[in-house]
């Protein structure tokens, strides 16, 4: 898709959002490579998607704009963000948003997305969530994790600062609790029988973000 196509998508999505969320959404859609990467991985798949930690629903809206055909189910602990997602969802077909804690995920089988969620949980809770997410991946489907990984880079230090700002401004209702290293994310997924690939997903951002793509064999 060319630049004008992306701008048109961004414009349609932000126009549907509450006024207070539009500037945030513009920045995320323009600079965060996660949405385009998930759309690339899923393409026009008709397999359903569970989006854990969906926030105001940007991933669901973006995927619909890019041709994703599966049913979308977004869950998040922040009820205010879920309310905002539901308000915008009337412009898109077959999107469902629920305010639930990640520890009580709904019954589901399909693709699973887990974008920038793990570091808000304690170490033991991260392992439990990864296990629960992996259990919901259908044969041939993907679990797509995007998260900061702990290392000694300047990118990691920049990310820690950003997370402190997000919590101080109350955009995030929880502080960062544990930044996992690569093995802490990959090991539970391999133990669940998934094939795992990890690579950087920085885009133009200074943050130490990686995408972990785990697939269940058919």
In this structure, the strands spanning 142-148 and 209-215 are: antiparallel
Give the helix ranges, DSSP H, for the chain: 3-16, 19-31, 34-42, 58-65, 79-89, 123-135, 154-168, 182-191
Model confidence pLDDT, tens digit, residues 144-163? 999 999 999 999 999 999 99
Model confidence pLDDT, tens digit, residues 170-216? 888 789 999 999 999 999 999 999 999 999 999 999 999 999 999 99
Across 58-97, b (16+ Cβ under 10 Å) vs e yields: bbbbbbbbbebbbebbbbbbbeebbebbbbbbeebeebbb
Q: Per-residue pLDDT averaged across 7-33, rounded? A: 92
The pLDDT assigned to 6 comes to 84
Domain ranges of the chain: 3-215
The pTM score is 0.94
At 113 the three-state DSSP class reads strand
Longest Cα–Cα distance in the chain: 44
At 74 the three-state DSSP class reads strand
The pLDDT assigned to 2 comes to 60
Its CATH class, for the domain covering 3-215, is alpha beta
142 φ/ψ angles, rounded to the nearest 5 degrees: -115, 145
């Amino acid at each position: 898709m060319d630049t004008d196509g992306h701008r048109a998508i961004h414009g349609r999505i932000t126009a549907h959002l509450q006024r207070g969320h539009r500037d945030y959404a513009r920045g995320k859609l323009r600079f965060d490579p996660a949405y385009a990467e998930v759309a690339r991985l899923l393409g026009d798949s008709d397999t359903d998607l569970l989006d854990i930690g969906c926030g105001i629903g940007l991933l669901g809206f973006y995927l619909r704009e890019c041709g994703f055909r599966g049913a979308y189910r977004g869950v998040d602990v922040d009820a205010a963000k879920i309310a905002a997602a539901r308000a915008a969802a009337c412009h898109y077909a077959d999107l469902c948003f629920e305010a639930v804690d990640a520890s009580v995920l709904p019954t589901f089988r399909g693709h699973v997305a887990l974008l920038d969620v793990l570091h808000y949980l304690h170490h033991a809770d991260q392992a439990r969530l990864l296990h629960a997410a992996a259990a919901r991946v259908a044969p041939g489907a993907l679990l797509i994790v995007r998260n900061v990984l702990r290392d000694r880079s300047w990118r990691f230090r920049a990310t820690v600062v950003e997370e402190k700002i997000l919590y101080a401004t109350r955009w995030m209702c929880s502080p960062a609790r544990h930044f996992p290293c690569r093995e802490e994310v990959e090991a539970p997924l391999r133990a669940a029988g998934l094939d795992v690939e990890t690579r950087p997903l920085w885009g133009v951002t200074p943050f130490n973000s990686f995408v972990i793509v785990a697939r269940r064999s058919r």
